[in-house]
Amino acid sequence: MTERGLEKSDLIEKVIKISRVAKVVKGGRRFSFSALVVVGNGQSRVGFALGKANEVTEAIRKGIERATKNMKPVVTEGRTIPYTSLGRFGASRVVMNPCEPGRGIIASGPVRAVMEAAGIADISVKTLGSNNSHNVVKAALHALYELKSFEEIAERRGVPVEHLRPRKAG
């Protein structure tokens, strides 16, 4: 067990992007690697990080280590999110809509990895603006971290929870 009470096998680790970076020095080029990684427990906790090293495996390891420390809780309603959410970072915009059970994850690659790591199974996500992986991941996590539960919103507003929940058709 680690210091946070999570075993290594319990975590879902997704490598989103690996970049090779060249630094020009007197003798030629020096190559190093950076790895964008998302880590989640599949039960509403997720974090991301960028690991940098001279070897790919070391960059991924560093990214996973950092992302595990950066994990934050996410509000979910069953297998989806409670309501529509907008996330922004840089020129990237991410619009998340909850879906009915069985619909699956409808999203681009980087956002899909975030949702799978967070344990969200039914969601529709539209990525607008820049599709830079780093900014899209940050926008998606911004949208997830900003979500509040219906109970929390109702308590703040001083209204019953039934007034906030969407009514089922039929």
> Is 74-163 a domain of CATH 3.30.230.10?
yes
Amino acid type, 139: A
Residue 3's pLDDT is: 47
Within the chain, all domains assigned CATH 3.30.160.20 are found at: 8-72
Rounded CA-CA distance 36/25 in Å is: 25
- pLDDT averaged over 10-residue windows placed end to end, the chain, 170 residues: 56 95 93 96 94 96 96 93 95 95 93 95 95 96 94 89 73
Amino acid type, 58: E
Token pair for residue 39? 């880590």
Residue range 8-72, CATH number: 3.30.160.20
pTM of this prediction?
Answer: 0.88
The CA-to-CA distance between both ends of the chain, in Å, stands at 48
Residue 5's pLDDT is: 52
Backbone phi, then psi, for 89, in 5-degree steps?
-160, 120
Residue 164's pLDDT is: 80
Within the chain, all domains assigned CATH 3.30.230.10 are found at: 74-163
- Listed in sequence order, the residues at least 6 apart from 58 whose beta carbon sits closer than 8 Å to its beta carbon are 51
Residue 10's pLDDT is: 85
